[in-house]
Amino acid sequence: MSIKTRRKGRFFRSLAIGAVLVPLASLAGCSDDKPAIPPDAPGVSRSEEYSFGSATHAQDWQATRKILDQLEGRFGEKSVRVLSRNLASTTDPQAIKAYYAERLAHQAGWAEIPVSTFADRAWAFAFVSPQGDWVLAVEALNASEGAAGIVPLNILTNLDDDKGSRQ
């Protein structure tokens, strides 16, 4: 076999290997994409304006601030955004937690982290990505703190977009 033939063979083998490895490498690169915020849970809705009075707003902000302080201590100051929602006061907090846990489980490796809430007036939970880079927390006032069948609920996250929250 001539040297020319061997070089051509090596060249085409390299091309074939590259044709297989390049798509695999690009797929591996895609796996590091920032996870999406799951769609809003059942019982959670959006409102054009804040639906609560000043007393409820003050309690809501205290509860949110308590969770925000804990998350910013771990993920960096001003890195966590607050997305305001309304929650039907008849919705069970455990159902909300199970919903987000199930959605994040599809993104592999998310784990719950402890967060302490604002006295007995609110509840909260948080999940962190496997590498510890991303967080999704949910905080809401107890049903007894709301009016007109709804209570304020806040999603606290450092994910960039809110595309996944639209249904």
What percentage of residues in the chain have a pLDDT greater than 70? 74
Mean pLDDT to the nearest integer, 117-136? 89
Whether residue 67 contacts residue 141, with contact meaning beta carbons closer than 8 Å, is answered with no
Who has greater pLDDT, 109 or 27? Answer: 109
- DSSP character at residue 109: -
| pLDDT tens string 43-56 | 999 988 888 889 99
Q: Where are the domains of the chain?
A: 1-33, 44-165
Two structure tokens written together for 97? 């937690």
The predicted-structure confidence for 32-84, as pLDDT tens digits, reads as follows 567 888 899 999 999 888 888 899 999 999 999 999 999 999 998 888 999 99
- Lowest-confidence pick of 23-37, 98-112, 119-133, 143-157: 23-37
Q: In sequence order, what E strands does the chain have?
A: 44-45, 81-88, 111-113, 122-128, 135-141, 150-157
Looking at residue 48, what is its pLDDT? 83
Contact partners, residue 91, CB within 8 Å, separation at least 6: 41, 42, 43, 44
* Fold of the domain built from segment(s) 44-165: TATA-Binding Protein (3.30.310)
pLDDT value, residue 164: 44
**pTM value?**
0.75
Place of tokens 């939970």: 125
Asked whether the predicted pLDDT for residue 28 surpasses 60, the reply is no
Find out whether 96 and 41 touch, Cβ atoms under 8 Å: yes
